[in-house]
Amino acid sequence: MAILVTGATGTIGRHLVRRVGDDVIAFVRDKAKGHALGCRYVVGAFTDHDSLARAMRGVDRVFLNGAGAVPGEQPMIPHQRAVIDAAAEAGVEHVVKLSVWHARIGGKLAEGAHGVIEEYLKASGLPWTILQPNGFMQNYSTGTAVATEGGHLIGSYGDSRVSYVDCEDIAASAAAVLANPQPDRTFVLTGPEALTHSEIADKLSTVVGREIRYIDLPPTEFANRLTAAGLPAPFAADVAALFAEVATGKLAPTTSDVATLTSHSPRTFDDFLRTNTESIKEAWSKA
Ligand X SMILES: NC(=O)c1ccc[n+]([C@@H]2O[C@H](COP(=O)([O-])OP(=O)(O)OC[C@H]3O[C@@H](n4cnc5c(N)ncnc54)[C@H](OP(=O)(O)O)[C@@H]3O)[C@@H](O)[C@H]2O)c1
CB of 109 to ligand X, least distance (A): 8
- Which of 67, 105, 228, 233 lies at the binding interface for ligand X (CB under 6 A)? 67
Instruction: Report if residue 66 touches ligand X, rule: CB under 6 A.
Output: yes
| Shortest Å distance, C-beta 268 to ligand X | 17
Binding positions for ligand X, 169-198, rule CB under 6 A: none
CB of 41 to ligand X, least distance (A): 11
235 scored as a contact of ligand X (CB under 6 A)? no
Q: How far is the CB of 123 from ligand X (least distance, A)?
A: 19
| 110 scored as a contact of ligand X (CB under 6 A) | yes
84 interacts with ligand X by CB under 6 A: no
**Nearer of residues 135 and 181 to ligand X, judged by Cβ:** 135
Q: Which stretch binds ligand X (CB under 6 A): 66-74, 196-204, 207-215, 278-286?
A: 66-74
Among residues 7 and 107, whose Cβ is nearest to ligand X? 7
Per rule CB under 6 A, count of chain residues that contact ligand X? 29
Q: Note whether 247 binds ligand X by CB under 6 A.
A: no
- Chosen residue from 3, 4, 5, 13 binding ligand X by CB under 6 A: 13
**What string marks each residue from 119 to 148 as x (binds ligand X by CB under 6 A) or -?**
--------------x-xx--x----xx---
Half-sphere exposure of 125 (CA within 13 A, CB side): 8
User: What's the per-residue H, E or C state across the chain?
Assistant: CCEEECCCCCCCHHHHHHHHHHHEEEEECCHHHHHHHCCEEEECCCCCHHHHHHHHCCCCEEEECCCCCCCCCCCHHHHHHHHHHHHHHHCCCEEEEECCCCCCCCCCHHHHHHHHHHHHHHCCCCCEEEEEECCECCHHHHCCCCEEECCEEEECCCCCCECCECHHHHHHHHHHHHHCCCCCEEEEECCCCCECHHHHHHHHHHHHCCCCCEEECCHHHHHHHHHHCCCCHHHHHHHHHHHHHHCCCCCCCCCCHHHHHHCCCCCCHHHHHHHCHHHHHHHHHCC
User: Rule CB under 6 A: is residue 33 a binding residue for ligand X?
Assistant: yes
145: left (phi over 0), alpha (psi -120 to 50) or beta: left
What does the binding site for ligand X look like in residue numbers (CB under 6 A)?
7-13, 29-30, 33, 45-47, 65-69, 76, 79, 98, 100, 110, 133, 135-136, 139, 144-145
